Amino acid sequence: MFSIRKATVKDCQLIQELAFHIWEPTYGSILSPEQLIYMFDMMYSLENLRIQMEELHHQFFLIYADGIPSGYLSIETVEDHLFEFQKVYSLPALHGSGIGRFIIEQGINYLKSIHPGSFTIELNVNRENPAYGFYKHMGFYQYATRDFPIGNGYYMNDYIMRMEVEN
């Protein structure tokens, strides 16, 4: 049984701990160990998580499986009718359990509750990440490709995927 709740700055440590258990299994075969460490520190330091929540106004959610913290989602408002799922992650042991579908559906439901009318959801997925097929299955389509420099000579080589939502 899955459940979801909004996260606060007090949950940064828990989000960081979940990311620690998710990050390497997700990207270890795609990125070098050095890039993994660099990106983890860049995205998941406690200070950067706080900035994402308080200054960039990303809305974070924690996902629970049978009451155990098992994943997270963050949503950024990009424009009036455009939202980005910045982070959609669950523990690898739960892949295939329906948790990914739950996370996406709950994110859509949240956006429907705060946004009247139609809107677009965008997300980025590494071009080597098998999650690409999952997102297509969920109704996202490939909108663009990007190679985004993130510092230290590293790039995020992503597909930008979109979903149009009627409300």
CA proximity to 58, closest of 106, 112, 12: 12
> According to the model, what pLDDT value does residue 121 have?
98
What local confidence, expressed as pLDDT, does residue 79 receive? 95
Read off the pLDDT of residues 110-164 as tens digits, 9 standing for 90 and up: 999 999 999 999 999 999 999 999 999 999 999 999 999 999 999 999 999 999 9
Residue-wise pLDDT for 85-107, tens only, equals 999 999 999 999 999 999 999 99
| pTM score | 0.95
Average pLDDT, integer, range 68-87: 97
Domain that holds residue 18: 2-165
Q: Output the pLDDT for position 67.
A: 98
Query: For 21-26, what is the mean pLDDT?
Result: 93
DSSP symbol at 60: E
Span 52-62, average pLDDT:
97
Alpha-carbon 137 to chain mean position: 17
- Structural domains in the chain (count): 1
CATH number, domain containing residue 153: 3.40.630.30
Check residue 137 and give its pLDDT.
Answer: 97
The stretches of the chain forming alpha helices (DSSP H) are 12-27, 33-44, 46-54, 99-114, 131-137
